[in-house]
A and B are shown apart, each in its own frame.
Chain A
Amino acid sequence: MKSRSPRGELVVVGSLLAAGACAVAFVLLYIFDSHNTQLLGLSLGLALVFLAVASVVAGRKVVDQRKGVEERPVLVQEDVEKEVAERAVALREGVSRRKLIVGAGALAGAGVGVAAIAPLASLGPGNVSETLKASPWKKGVPLVDDNDKLLSVDQFEVGSWTTAFPQHADKRALGSAIVVVQILESEVLKNPQWAPRGIMAYSKVCTHAGCAISLFRYPTYEPTSQPPALVCPCHYSTFDVRKSAEVVFGPAGRPLPQLPLAIDANNNLVAAGNYDGNIGPAWWGVRKGT
């Protein structure tokens, strides 16, 4: 029998041998240097490359290359269609209370259907408004840092900022984390009674899509028209801290809820009440009550 492609056959054999060698290399690496990600990937990848070459060369050179022609299947067969339709309708023959049966069937179907999905209600959601509005803050709750240390006003200077939490509360709860910033008292244009010494606190959860507000832009050095602002790194919603975090840029639809602050007898920061709005991204009831 005459070979179709002697060279192709050689390439296939060579590639298969090379693939085997690379696979062995992979196994050896796995045994002796199992955390060498680069060489592991390289050896396994090359083994597959050689197998691919062998397979493609076999498919394009070595085996029979004749093309074929065939008719497409006829999809539409009118007589069969007609027969099927007639058979389907013939179901009704010799049955008199058709509507009653169909009605009873629909009733049973609906009942069993509801029964089948009813247990899904165990998933929740419970009291939506109450859950979404939950906040651990109320008057007198002390502010702590992420090591549970009380926050003293002396830690702050104009332009500084930090993340704080309510004492003895779950830090991961969405209502917990606040960002505390200090600006000049003269810069506070709204609700100065909530900002002793220009120190003010806002919910750290962006009102746009729930990311953590983690940029504080305070123009200390260069003269600029931009106000001191909190910025969300996800979509750059920008909140003017002078005006109770009014939105000055970006996709957020509401200001950040502000947490009124006060200073206790030991010079530590405490909450003077709950947030002035509901925290987190908007839902239908976000503007109703607090």
Chain B
Amino acid sequence: MSLLKRRREVSDEEAATDAVRFVDERLGIAPLIRAGMNYLFPDNWTFLFGEIALYAFIVLLITGTYLAFFFDPSTATTTYTGGYAPLHGVQMSEAYNSTLGIAFDVPAGLVIRQTHHWAALVFVVAMVVHLMRVFFTGAFRKPRDANWLIGVTLVTLGIVEGFAGYSLPDDLLSGMGLAIAYGVVLSIPFVGGQLALLIWDGNFPGSSAFVDRLFIVHVFIVPLIILGLIGVHLAIIMRQKHSQFPGPGRTERNVVGTPLWPAYTFRALGMLLATAAVLFLLGGLVQINPVWQYGPYEPWLGTNGAQPDWYMGWLIGALRLMPGFDFTIGDATIAGNPFFGGILFPGVVFTVLYLWPSIERRITKDKRRHDLLDRPRDKPWRTAFGSAFFTWIFTIFVAGAADRILVDVGFPYEGQVIFFRILALVLPVVVFIAVYFVCRELKRSEARPLRHWYGTVVRRADDGSYEEIPVEIDPDGGNGNGTRPTKEEKVGGE
């Protein structure tokens, strides 16, 4: 019995060696595979957001390819005869017609389309949360400042990609969104008119070339750039190796973590599958963007309470809150509200994000390399600034839903605009002050109000008696060797 078992094991190894030899003889990459297997991932739950974004993107590529087999990006008019009776006989574009076809006539088409849409929402939200994690833990500092720029670029591209995607079906909602985008482009000083006509190939709603352009941007150009940048993003991470939180045995010079093979491979695969599972469950069970209810878009149609996908909400909010005046010199109009809200506001936000590593380097005069992360409390002013900054954006985001608050709750719109204007100016200041002092106090006292359970462990001794041992349970667990990080180690990067 034991002889048989041993023989089988040996032959396993031999088979594996043969397989590796087969690859190595042709590519010579055994050392690379070894390095990959040994690559260490420091464990922390906050590192998962970037992974979720990556996996959502994979789901987007797969479901998007499926949809592209059935979608027809054409403005040619047709009369609807498909599976949704209420629209029978309605004149519509082939784009809208084929979108309805995916929903009602292609087997399993709707579940794929809804999963695609949900994946887009999750993709952007995961990137944004990942960006916040990187911000508040100081992971953007040298040497990761280069990767921060790529990350911020990926967020902008994700928003552009999402907007292009939900503009394609040519339903009423997507048409209204494109009208606003057209207004925003027109408002760009000096070149807005040229640019808008260039993009739309004429006056809004554009020629038949426009939907072709939108399609190629959505299914080829932007995804290709995103894919390439994700590749660079990950390559840089692998070159620099993961950052890690301070803890026992962790220094600026080393990485403590779980190797890619075997444990982390299965964990990461599990995360990919879990992300896909949630997206397909949402796609099957939770309706999203029911375009058949909106009807086809015509430039003279509009509807009250229309809301875009969530990642456009902050821009809609800015259009709502910015005062309505055109900036004129003589009879030349330089810019108006769509410019302030639709270009200037996101411009300021992304400029701050792009420049933040340099701004912080200039303030702190800290040019050293950092591989140990800060806890948010370790840098009260950074955490306070970030909290205020994101609060500012979030307040404007909520103001984007003012029309739904009017329609659903009944709060007068005019009053809401004034309220949100004041809130967008006051709330960030309040948040800055509050967060600054909370962080300073936490840093001073080293209290961990959300992390610790103070209690006792009861242990049975050898003689049968029981003893009580007071302990602090640290769910973080350090590196699992049972020692508690000392204060010096935790502060680490300071």
| Complex contact A55–B270 (CB within 8 A) | yes
Complex CA–CA separation, A233 to B407 (angstroms): 11
A109 contact set on B, CB distance < 8 A: none
Q: Residues of A within 8 Å of B, CB-based: how many? A: 89
Complex CA–CA separation, A165 to B300 (angstroms): 10
Q: Residues of B within 8 Å of A, CB-based: how many? A: 99
Cβ of A138 within 8 Å of any chain B Cβ, yes or no, is no
Cβ of B165 within 8 Å of any chain A Cβ, yes or no, is no
Convert B287-304 into 0s and 1s, putting 1 for each residue whose CB lies closer than 8 angstroms to a CB of A: 000000000001111111
Cβ of B389 within 8 Å of any chain A Cβ, yes or no, is no
| Complex contact B196–A208 (CB within 8 A) | no
| Complex contact A288–B332 (CB within 8 A) | yes
Cβ of B54 within 8 Å of any chain A Cβ, yes or no, is no
Which candidate, A39-47, A88-96, A188-196, is the interface stretch facing chain B? A39-47
Q: In terms of DSSP, what is the predominant structure of the interface of chain A? A: loop
B115 contact set on A, CB distance < 8 A: 41
- A288 and B331 in contact (CB under 8 A), knowing A209-B183, A211-B180, A254-B326? yes
Convert A52-91 into 0s and 1s, putting 1 for each residue whose CB lies closer than 8 angstroms to a CB of B: 1111101110111111111111010000000000000000
A251 contact set on B, CB distance < 8 A: 319-320, 322-324, 337-338, 341
- A283 and B278 in contact (CB under 8 A), knowing A41-B284, A55-B266, A72-B371? no
Q: Pick the most buried of A39, A62, A123, A213: most chain B CB atoms within 10 A of its CB.
A: A123
| Complex contact B193–A283 (CB within 8 A) | yes
Complex CA–CA separation, A209 to B324 (angstroms): 11
| Complex contact B304–A233 (CB within 8 A) | yes
| Complex contact B111–A44 (CB within 8 A) | yes
Convert B265-309 into 0s and 1s, putting 1 for each residue whose CB lies closer than 8 angstroms to a CB of A: 111111101101110111111000000000000111111111000
Cβ of B253 within 8 Å of any chain A Cβ, yes or no, is yes
Complex CA–CA separation, A135 to B439 (angstroms): 60
- A40 and B108 in contact (CB under 8 A), knowing A59-B265, A251-B322? yes
| Complex contact B274–A212 (CB within 8 A) | no
Complex CA–CA separation, A49 to B282 (angstroms): 13
Cβ of A149 within 8 Å of any chain B Cβ, yes or no, is no
B302 contact set on A, CB distance < 8 A: 211-214, 232-234
Which candidate, B16-24, B184-192, B466-474, is the interface stretch facing chain A? B184-192
| Complex contact B285–A38 (CB within 8 A) | yes
Determine how close the nearest CB of chain B comes to the CB of A3; give it in whole angstroms: 14
Determine how close the nearest CB of chain A comes to the CB of B272; give it in whole angstroms: 8
Complex CA–CA separation, A39 to B256 (angstroms): 44
What are the 5 tightest A-B residue pairs by CB atom distance, in nearest-first order? A41-B284, A59-B266, A209-B183, A34-B107, A253-B326
Q: A209-B180, A284-B190 are in contact. List 11 more A-B contacts (CB 8 A).
A: A63-B262, A72-B254, A128-B193, A209-B182, A210-B182, A232-B302, A235-B319, A251-B320, A252-B337, A284-B189, A287-B333
**Which residues does A use to contact B, with CB under 8 Å?**
30, 34-35, 37-42, 44-49, 51-56, 58-60, 62-73, 75, 123-126, 128-129, 131-132, 134, 146, 163, 165, 171-177, 204-206, 208-215, 232-237, 247, 249-254, 280-288
Name 14 A/B residue pairs within 8 A (Cβ), A-sorted: A41-B111, A42-B284, A56-B274, A62-B266, A63-B266, A68-B38, A68-B256, A70-B255, A71-B253, A75-B143, A234-B302, A235-B320, A280-B204, A284-B192
